[in-house]
Amino acid sequence: MKKSNLFFLILFTCWATIGQAQAKKWTIAECVNYALEHNISIRNTALDGELAAIDKKDARGNFIPSINANASHSWNIGLNQNITTGLLENQTTQFTSMGVGANVDIYKGLQNQNRYRRSALAEVAAQYQLSKMKDDVSLNVANAFLQILFNKENIKVQKELLAANERQFNRTQQLVDAGSVPRGDLLDIKATVADSKQKLVAAENALLISRLSLAQLLQLDDFQNFDIADENYDAKQSEVMFQTPESIYKKALENRVEVKLAQTNLDIANRDIKIARGAYQPTLQGFYSFNSRISYADVPYVINGQVIGTRSPDPFFTQFDDNKGHNFGLQLNVPILNGFAARNNVSRSKVNAERAKIALEQSQVDLERTVYTAFTDANGAFNSYESANTALEARKNAFEYAQARYDVGMMNAFDYNQAQTLYANAQSEVLRTKYDYIFRTKIVEFYFGIPIIQQ
């Protein structure tokens, strides 16, 4: 193969690859799944869950004895006390000491047990918070996705309207040249064409902004090449809409994480009360320590109570064994008066528990209001969609009648443009109410327990 042919083959392959990469169309499922993995708010909330897991490990560690080792080496120069003989001596010596100690809580007013249970509840609360954040992001992504679909279809409507106006302009130009219609009709049609171009530009800008909004939710940098698949959604009435608002609310009350999160926070607050009350009770702690020391100074040589000289120090391990010591026991602390700190902590915890109880009640009220509002809005959106379809059919017939009259010279350009504008507005209204109903239905399904995307 010639080098030139090979070069063009490689170049064509690269272009084809780039074209395929740019032609990727994101489905709503891909958008939601990608957002759940890359959204900043979700990633930040997930870190709260990791911190809660670490706090749980800390609480579990309170049951384990604390063990610490220590060692020191010192130089003493001048008149110092020999820590081995207890005598004051003017000398330079070195000493090594080492030890290990352990402490264990035997009884601490059940505070360790309650702290561990509290940390487990906090970990569950963090998981609920993460689930709520994922649900919010999923709804936002679905709304942004449907907004792009609406803008795309609206552009099609505006393009069709512009093409029709341009065709009408060309025909009117011919009629003006033939002297069949006044020149004023041509000016009106020309203004209508300009207005259609302006609406098309506005629709294209709206599409660009909606794509940018979704790309930001997905944390994508190259939003200019970002596009979604042209999925077809039917605006048929969902089976969930045949349920009563009461049944939807009861289902949401069982499944929604908002209520579960509030209930968990109340459980945490009640556990805090038990932890605070544990300070009223005595605490019992066991302790143990081991230590030894080694001296590197010469040792006095004593016979019959007389120091007659010195000798080299004993070997390291001999001194370590001879100078070792053990210390162990129990320590009991009984709280008597501590400035009402324990009592105030209990009272403070009770206030926080009452706040959590009110928050639980408020979450239930908010959920009920949200479900009823969503159900009412979905029904209203469906009625609006049906009305818009009825209006579209009437506007279509009116426009066809106006066009027939305009073609035979029985209607002026201004009235014709008015009929055409009303028809185009009716088409846009059908699209708007359609996607508004689809999204509001998804909200109702979401509270009924149906996920945003069907896997």
CATH number, residue 359: 1.20.1600.10
Q: How confident is the model at residue 333 (pLDDT cuts 50, 70, 90)?
A: very high
Query: According to the model, what pLDDT value does residue 6 have?
Result: 46
| Residue 324 forms part of a structural domain | yes
Report residue 89: phi and psi, to 5°.
Answer: -140, 145
Quick: pLDDT tens for 358-388.
Answer: 999 999 999 999 999 999 999 999 999 999 9
Burial class (CB in 10 A: 0-12, 13-18, 19+), 200: middle
Are 402 and 294 found together in one domain?
no
In the listed set 334, 359, 374, which residue is the last one of a domain according to the structure?
Answer: 334
Of 295, 311, 334, the one marking the end of a domain is 334
For 289, list phi and psi in degrees, rounded to 5: -145, 150
Residue 17 has pLDDT above 70, yes or no: no
Is the pLDDT reported for residue 53 higher than 60?
yes
Q: What are phi and psi of 304, to 5 degrees?
A: 55, 40
pLDDT tens across 71-113, in order?
999 887 877 776 556 677 777 778 899 999 999 999 998 999 9
356 and 242 housed in the same domain: yes
Do 340 and 386 belong to one domain?
Answer: yes
DSSP line for 179-197? TSS-HHHHHHHHHHHHHHH
Return the pLDDT at 300.
67
Cα–Cα distance between 262 and 363 in angstroms, integer?
Answer: 7
What is each CA distance from 122 to 50, 119, 166, in whole angstroms? 11, 5, 66
Lowest mean pLDDT, pick from 128-132, 184-188, 280-284: 184-188
Q: Is residue 13 part of a domain?
A: no
The residues that bridge with 73 in the sheet, in sequence order, are 96
Report the amino acid identity of residue 254. E
Residue 339: pLDDT above 90? no
Q: Grade residue 302 by pLDDT with cuts at 50, 70 and 90.
A: low
**Looking at the structure, do residues 60 and 71 belong to the same domain, yes or no?**
no
Beta bridge partners of 228: 26
The pLDDT of residue 166 is 87
Angle, vertex CA 118, rays to CA 114 and CA 123, nearest 5: 150
Examine the domain organization and report whether 136 and 262 are in the same domain.
yes
CA atoms within 13 A on the CB side of 217: 25
Q: How confident is the model at residue 294 (pLDDT cuts 50, 70, 90)?
A: confident
Q: Is residue 454 part of a domain?
A: no
In a domain, 415, yes or no: yes
Which pairs with CB-CB distance under 8 Å and at least 24 residues apart come from 363-368? 363/258, 363/259, 363/261, 363/262, 364/253, 364/259, 364/262, 366/258, 367/249, 367/252, 367/253, 367/256, 367/258, 367/259, 367/447, 368/249
Confidence of residue 309 (pLDDT cuts 50, 70, 90): low
Work out whether strand 306-311 and strand 325-333 pair parallel, antiparallel, or are unpaired. Answer: unpaired
Tell whether 127 is covered by a domain.
yes
Does residue 271 have a pLDDT over 90?
A: yes
Residue at 7 is within a domain: no
Mean predicted lDDT score pLDDT of the chain: 86
Question: Do 315 and 380 reside in the same domain of the chain?
Answer: no
10 Å CB burial of residue 288 (0-12, 13-18, 19+) is: middle
Does residue 369 share a domain with residue 329?
no
Lowest mean pLDDT among 70-74, 285-289, 306-310: 306-310
Q: Say whether 165 sits in a helix, a strand or coil.
A: helix
Residues 359 and 389 in one domain: yes
315 lies in the same domain as 392: no
Tell me the pLDDT tens digit for each residue of 137-164: 999 999 999 999 999 989 988 898 888 8
Where among 301, 316, 334 does a domain terminate?
334
CA-based nearest residue to 419, from 155, 156, 164? 164
Task: Identify the pLDDT of residue 360.
Answer: 95
In a domain, 354, yes or no: yes
- Which domain range does residue 53 map to? 28-64+110-144+229-281+336-448
Q: What is the mean pLDDT of residues 254-261?
A: 92
Count of domains forming the chain: 2
In this prediction, residue 88 carries a pLDDT of 75
At 282, the pLDDT band (50, 70, 90 cuts) reads very high
Q: Residues 4, 9, 11, 14: what is their CA dihedral angle, to the nearest 10 degrees?
A: -160
Largest CA distance in the chain: 149
248: number of Cβ within 10 Å: 22
Q: Are residues 372 and 254 in the same domain?
A: yes
The two beta strands, 283-295 and 325-333, are: antiparallel
Q: Is residue 14 part of a domain?
A: no
At residue 280, does pLDDT exceed 80? Answer: yes
pLDDT digits (tens, 9 = 90+) for 186-245: 888 888 889 889 989 999 999 999 999 999 888 887 777 888 888 777 777 788 888 999
Residues 310 and 396 in one domain: no
pLDDT at 21: 45
Predicted TM-score (pTM) of the model is 0.78
Residues 308 and 425 both lie in one domain: no
